[in-house]
Amino acid sequence: AQTVTQSQPEMSVQEAETVTLSCTYDTSESDYYLFWYKQPPSRQMILVIRQEAYKQQNATENRFSVNFQKAAKSFSLKISDSQLGDAAMYFCAFVPYFGNEKLTFGTGTRLTIIP
Amino acid sequence: EAEVAQSPRYKITEKSQAVAFWCDPISGHATLYWYRQILGQGPELLVQFQDESVVDDSQLPKDRFSAERLKGVDSTLKIQPAELGDSAMYLCASSLRTSGNTIYFGEGSWLTVV
């Protein structure tokens, strides 16, 4: 069974600054996908970024980038130039490449943006 | 942009009553998921469908919960009888059949059991 751990229940950052959210996972799979999802208050969960485990290059989406360390089973999210709209719960999630595609979530990190 | 539709958005029900949630996935998405998210926690999978077949319902409390996707399109999740501990958000999500495809979520249905 896979587990996903987010050790930071809450984080805060000044607007326009950079913040890094941590995620570690445990799996015996060699092929898998990792995701960061964002859930604003009372809004739907939306995908921020995804990483294929077989790719060495870290994924980037505009101001969002990841630091994927496969050997360490670490998958952190960096948000650059933080904006007020980035305030949300952020969930790290894992799904194996093979099997029934069960997505396993971490417990989330609540990000507050300080104006 | 296509979205996963869910209804109702909010539901308050008394303990021991029945409640049902409906989900319409993105057109063409063969895989449909129901997740439960307790406030302050990450979502947990209740049931997963591939077309009309259940592929994982290991975490579904089958004594009171049921889910169906009769024609392989929309789905209904039912709770009967509801208990206080069922208060949570029920998220529906869908994805294409291919492994590794992104899973798209609906806005969720908030359930409060009083």
Q: Mind listing the pLDDT tens digit for each residue in A5-32?
A: 999 999 999 999 999 999 999 998 888 9
**Cβ atoms of residues B36 and B93 within 8 Å:** no
Cβ–Cβ of A52/B100 closer than 8 Å? yes
What are the φ/ψ torsions at residue A84 (nearest 5 degrees)?
Answer: -55, -35
pLDDT of residue A67: 97
**Comparing C-alpha atoms, which of A37, A69, A42, A64 is closest to residue A53?**
A69
pLDDT tens, residue by residue, A27-78: 988 889 999 999 998 778 999 999 999 988 999 999 999 999 999 999 999 9
Provide the shortest C-alpha distance from residue B83 to chain A (in Å): 23
pLDDT of residue B1: 67
State yes or no: pLDDT of A1 exceeds 60.
yes
- Average pLDDT of the segment spanning B24-53: 92
Among chain B residues, CA nearest to A4: B42
Cβ–Cβ of A100/B55 closer than 8 Å? yes
Residues facing residue A112 across a β-bridge: A12
pLDDT tens, residue by residue, B50-108: 999 998 899 999 999 999 998 889 999 999 999 999 999 999 999 887 566 788 999 99
Nearest to B108 among A37, A44, A91 (CB): A44
Cβ–Cβ of B48/A107 closer than 8 Å? no
**Comparing C-alpha atoms, which of B92, B55, B98, B97 is closest to residue B75?**
B92
pLDDT of residue B70: 86
- Strands A109-114, A10-14: parallel, antiparallel or unpaired by DSSP? parallel
Cβ–Cβ of A103/B33 closer than 8 Å? yes
